[in-house]
Amino acid sequence: MIRVYVSSVIDAGGDTVWSRIRDFNALPQWHPVIADSRIENGEASDKVGCIRHFHTRDGGMIRERLLALSDYDYSCTYEILESPMGVTNYVATLKLTPVTDGNRCFAEWSAEFDCGEGRERELVASIGDGVFQAGFDALKRQFGGR
């Protein structure tokens, strides 16, 4: 199993950042790689088990299922059901932790998955930099950081 982990500090409080990312259907509102998103079957976007169906700006289609959502822990866990990336058993968690020294939060995004032999480095880089870090960088810009 391959693991990707990215962390960052965002110059906004945990409540503020969580209100932006909590909605499982809100990726296009804060992540620069996502073009559109919808929740299948008209379900609520915070219902565990709901499936988001979205497209990346380069035309890729991805379906993910929400496995856990905690307003107390500021975290969500999801799995990929369909993706052009060539990953299987993909489960990821996005989590925020308030930083008590200032109005900031510590953000962590991690995933574990299986993939074809020889693709590990490529996928770790594309997911870690192109998805996770790109999302954190966008959040930092939205909240007035670097």
Q: What is d(CA 63, CA 53) in angstroms, rounded to the nearest whole number?
A: 5
Q: What is d(CA 116, CA 130) in angstroms, rounded to the nearest whole number?
A: 19
Q: In the numeric block, which tokens belong to residue 41?
A: 């079957």
| Predicted pLDDT of residue 146 | 55
| Predicted pLDDT of residue 144 | 76
| DSSP code string of 94-143 | EEEEEETTTTEEEEEEEEEEEE-TT-HHHHHHHHIIIIIIHHHHHHHHHT
Q: What is d(CA 19, CA 34) in angstroms, rounded to the nearest whole number?
A: 18
| Predicted pLDDT of residue 145 | 62
Q: In the numeric block, which tokens belong to residue 23?
A: 């909605």
- 3 state DSSP class of 88: strand
State the CB neighbour count (10 A cutoff) for residue 21.
19
Q: What is d(CA 30, CA 18) in angstroms, rounded to the nearest whole number?
A: 12
Predicted TM-score of the model (pTM): 0.94
| Predicted pLDDT of residue 102 | 87
Q: In the numeric block, which tokens belong to residue 86?
A: 């060539």
Q: Do the bridges between strand 87-99 and strand 75-82 make them parallel or antiparallel, or are there none, so unpaired?
A: antiparallel
Q: Which domains does the chain have, with CATH numbers?
A: 2-142 (3.30.530.20)
Q: What is d(CA 100, CA 53) in angstroms, rounded to the nearest whole number?
A: 36
pLDDT lower than 70: segments of the chain: 145-146
